A and B are shown apart, each in its own frame.
Chain A
């Protein structure tokens, strides 16, 4: 980790808790015993939320953002896709040099996890995770396999739409975010209780990656674009903090 002096430092924008899923969402059963019942204690961000870990390029391996090849060096089976986009803040500015990690099921909808007993086979050449640092404009790119849909125990016959899990850092620990992207046109999106923990249609739409034929590579792979927006930071002339505070 390195000290970065070029990042924004202002207080974080408040989170819109009506835009995010509520904690208690009975359609997604596991949330019922894991949702806090007491009101959150709300106050503005402090240095503990406005600072956060920084990561260096030296930690990223050459194949870390290539899930097709990064497990055994032999290509994984499935529909080859580029996942790309930018990490932005709520002011629309690219967020450079932040860590983006992702994980997913293989083309058959099976995770490489000891707890996943779904009958689709493991692909011996697919590990299922990747990571990268965003570029100077906040951009990122992965080469991967389109994950399969899979059934899960919730209500009878619930299926997860095709999705990739994303973990994103900003420059402040209070910007920390985990989410999932879905894929344009998947009919399972509307049926999914986890998607529907989000109340607003426009919010769900932010998670649906668009087919991007301009980034597809002919005779090689398709591409989907997925931008990720982190909490912004207030920049007020009237609240510049004193040095040393």
Chain B
């Protein structure tokens, strides 16, 4: 016998189910009166430094269906690459909260994130990661929240040396994380859960 390590196990995940909006965005669902407003409606406030951007997209399953019950949360650094909370490197732009909760439209399935383009954040070894937004995606049928990232097509130089993007062996799969620029300040990216063009999901 040996001594016990005495770690606890993480609580196992269960699906968010079809009614996640009751708990996380009750006002958007049409259940007002419990909270004054839904949390995470915007990751920025007026006056946030940096380039204002809008990203839109859809979440698509392996049968090609657009999810209307998907919800994700985003977490990002400010324009200088500092996270707005729990970052040991200092104080971020006070007009950036960094966190948003984004529900797909109940009818069209289209989601929309209005934010600023984040700055570069160092990887643990000090190399800089390319500008990115961390995503945690849940829906009915997803047993454990999916971790992915939004990168930007027009950050080619930074993307080329990003230690996380470079960890993805199949070069063409890196493209599944790159939001395409459709107009100045406007990007588009679909999350594909399964099959052709499947989004890269991380275990990190």
Contact = CB atoms under 8 A, between A and B. Distances in A.
Q: Do A and B come from one complex?
A: yes
Interface of A: 1-5, 7, 9, 11, 13-17, 19-23, 25, 28, 30-38, 40-55, 59, 61, 64, 70-72, 88-92, 99, 101-103, 111-116, 127-129, 131, 165, 167, 171-174, 176-180, 194-195, 197-198, 202-204, 206-207, 227-232, 241-242, 244-245
Interface in B158-204: 164, 167-168, 173, 193-195, 198-204
Nearest to B6: A92
A9 B143 contact: no
Contacts of A99: 39
A180 to B, nearest CB: 4
27 contacts: A1-B84, A15-B10, A38-B201, A42-B204, A43-B167, A46-B121, A52-B86, A53-B98, A59-B39, A61-B35, A71-B33, A89-B8, A103-B20, A103-B22, A113-B21, A116-B19, A127-B34, A178-B13, A197-B143, A203-B9, A203-B12, A206-B11, A207-B14, A228-B11, A229-B11, A232-B7, A232-B8
Contacts of A89: 8
B26 interface: yes
B66 to A, nearest CB: 12
B87 interface: yes
A115 B124 contact: no
Contacts of A55: 39
B86 A9 contact: yes
Given A28-B143, A229-B8, A173 B136 contact: yes
Instruction: Tell me the interface secondary structure of chain B in the complex.
Output: loop
B141 A33 contact: yes
A130 B62 CA distance: 34
10 nearest A-B pairs in the assembled complex, by CB-CB distance: A103-B23, A30-B141, A53-B99, A34-B141, A21-B143, A54-B85, A51-B83, A40-B203, A180-B14, A42-B203
Nearest to B146: A36
Contact of B121 (A48, A127, A198): A48
- The secondary structure that dominates the A interface is loop
B139 A41 contact: no
A69 to B, nearest CB: 11
Nearest to B100: A53
B12 A198 contact: yes
A205 to B, nearest CB: 10
A211 to B, nearest CB: 19
B26 A177 contact: no
A90 B7 CA distance: 5
A90 B9 CA distance: 6
B41 interface: no
A228 B22 CA distance: 21
